[in-house]
């Protein structure tokens, strides 16, 4: 198992390129199974979750050709139906997209209940409700979801809560259903729009993605095409927050500034300087941070995936701050690790009350999930002395070469094998 050994207190200077969005890639690649032809997909991030998805799509007979470091041709012309293998599917949350994609392609799917980060109960009842409304029979037996339909038919789906995964999954399966599907109370996250744009560029007819009502007019077939994945909002936010936490002057490149507005707004409140350009953003922090309050919300609110990073930032902000998690039931496991580094945080229900301290101190900490892991890396960059972040397998799931990107800005992070 690898760990990061981080020597803290080096300010960050320079520029960093943001990779393609993880949460788009893990939906677009399974959705490519719906296309009877070749999809050329550009800006695919080189991360562990994508490697697992590639193994899964190969399992169904898709052929993958690597064109360059981030471009792949996926040929799904000749596929063979099979159940998704447990050993792969249980490794990531996004394996649920194979239900939508296989249902859309074969009118049947068998996929183990998804794995991924543990933020408490992570139900998929809204996905199942959607598939049923499209005419599928769906059962859950011994941890495996089985769905089957004679043919999928468009229908009206009102989501009981805003779910990114359910919105995308229903959209994928409805792409080739007969008639019109309407998803109401749909999620508006950038990667929902990205998956819709991908499907449309392969011949689908999806309107309204990015609003809370999405209309999908089923088409008979999807055709070959080329598509480029959007930049990762969460990776960009990670580097923005890191620049503010550690101090310095960083330009974050290959981004869509509009997707970063909730982060920009919070950084400005802390006294961090943020300057937006067409496809880059400059973050400078030259003085002490001011406390503020953050509440996670669905897009365009502050993203839950950046909540652990916001908490880390506010550990050294002067005064008292509050961070409230309103999307996931249990996303504060990492706080014990920040406390080991000297943070003064007290959790009451869904709110972390933070009293700013002057400095964090390096020690051994454990990544408890992907974004918590990134937060601990940043805590290590802020801390006095040496921090060892263990269990970085979580971080590799969703960040491409995080240590090289930070080291390119002047950080000192060494990857070592943890015995």
**DSSP letters spanning 234-291:** HHHHHHHHHHHHH-EEEEEES--GGGGHHHHHHHHHTT-EEEE-SSEEEEEE-SPPBP
Name the segment binding ligand UD1 (CB under 6 A); options: 163-171, 218-226, 311-319, 361-369.
163-171
Distance (Å, whole) CA 38 – CA 72: 10
The 276-305 contact track toward ligand UD1, x by CB under 6 A, reads ----------------------------xx
Beta carbons of 315 and 288 less than 8 angstroms apart: no
Quote the DSSP letter at residue 229.
P
Q: Can 117 be counted among the known catalytic residues? A: yes
Phi, psi of 347 (to 5 degrees): -95, 130
Rounded least distance, CB 7 to ligand UD1, Å: 30
Phi, psi of 243 (to 5 degrees): -60, -35
Identity of the residue, 6 or 370, whose beta carbon is nearer to ligand UD1 in the bound complex: 370
Judge residue 237's burial from the number of C-beta atoms within 10 Å of its C-beta, 0-12 exposed, 13-18 middle, 19 or more buried: buried
Q: How many residues of this chain interact with ligand UD1, rule: CB under 6 A?
A: 20
Catalytic residue among 39, 90, 117, 245: 117
Choose which of 91, 93, 188, 405 interacts with ligand UD1 (CB under 6 A).
Answer: 93
Binding positions for ligand UD1, 187-226, rule CB under 6 A: 187
Query: Which residues fall within 8 angstroms of residue 308, CB to CB, at 6 or more apart?
Result: 331, 334, 371, 372, 374, 375
Choose which of 95, 163, 181, 321 interacts with ligand UD1 (CB under 6 A).
Answer: 163
Name the segment binding ligand UD1 (CB under 6 A); options: 59-67, 162-170, 263-271, 361-369.
162-170
Identity of the residue, 26 or 382, whose beta carbon is nearer to ligand UD1 in the bound complex: 26
Binding positions for ligand UD1, 96-155, rule CB under 6 A: 122-127
Identity of the residue, 370 or 382, whose beta carbon is nearer to ligand UD1 in the bound complex: 370
C-beta neighbour count of 375 within 10 angstroms: 32
Query: Among positive and negative, which fits the CA dihedral 211, 212, 213, 216?
Result: positive
Identity of the residue, 274 or 327, whose beta carbon is nearer to ligand UD1 in the bound complex: 327
Residue ranges binding ligand UD1 (CB under 6 A): 23, 26, 93-94, 122-127, 161, 163-166, 187, 304-305, 327-328
Which residues are identified as catalytic?
117
């Amino acid at each position: 198992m690898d760990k990061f050994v981080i020597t803290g207190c080096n300010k960050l200077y320079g520029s960093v390129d943001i990779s393609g969005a993880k949460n788009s890639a893990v939906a677009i690649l399974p959705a490519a199974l719906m296309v009877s032809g070749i999809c050329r997909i550009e800006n695919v991030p080189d991360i562990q979750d994508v490697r697992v998805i590639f193994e899964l799509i190969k399992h169904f007979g898709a052929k993958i050709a690597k064109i360059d470091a981030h471009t792949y041709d996926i040929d799904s012309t000749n596929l063979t139906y099979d159940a998704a293998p447990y050993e792969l599917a249980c490794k990531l949350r996004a394996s649920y997209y194979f239900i939508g994609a296989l249902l859309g392609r074969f009118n049947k799917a068998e996929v183990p209940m998804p794995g991924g980060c543990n933020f408490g109960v992570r139900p998929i009842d809204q996905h199942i409700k959607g598939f049923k409304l499209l005419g599928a029979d769906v059962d859950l037996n011994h941890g495996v979801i089985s769905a089957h339909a004679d043919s999928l038919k468009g229908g009206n789906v009102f989501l009981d809560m805003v779910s990114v995964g359910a919105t995308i999954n229903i959209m994928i399966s409805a792409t080739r259903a007969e008639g019109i599907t309407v998803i109401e109370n749909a999620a508006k996250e950038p990667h929902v729009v990205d998956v819709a744009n991908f499907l449309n560029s392969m011949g689908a007819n999806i309107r309204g993605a990015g609003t809370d009502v999405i209309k999908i007019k089923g088409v008979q077939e999807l055709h070959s095409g080329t598509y480029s994945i959007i930049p990762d909002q969460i990776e960009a936010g990670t580097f923005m927050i890191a620049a503010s936490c550690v101090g310095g002057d960083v330009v974050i490149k290959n981004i869509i500034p509009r997707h970063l507005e909730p982060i920009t707004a919070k950084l400005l409140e802390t006294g961090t300087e943020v300057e937006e350009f067409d496809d880059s953003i400059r973050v400078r922090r030259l003085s002490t941070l001011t406390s503020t309050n953050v509440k996670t919300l669905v897009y365009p609110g502050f993203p839950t995936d950046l909540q652990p990073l916001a908490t880390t930032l506010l550990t050294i902000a002067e005064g008292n701050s509050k961070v409230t998690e309103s999307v996931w039931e249990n996303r504060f496991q990492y706080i014990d690790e920040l406390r080991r580094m000297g943070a003064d945080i007290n959790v009451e229900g869904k709110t972390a009350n933070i009293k700013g301290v002057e400095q964090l101190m390096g020690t051994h900490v454990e990544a408890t999930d992907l974004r918590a892991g990134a937060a601990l890396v940043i805590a290590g960059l802020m801390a006095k002395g040496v921090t060892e972040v263990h269990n970085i397998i979580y971080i590799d799931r969703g960040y491409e070469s995080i240590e090289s990107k930070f080291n390119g800005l002047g950080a000192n992070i060494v990857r070592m094998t943890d015995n």
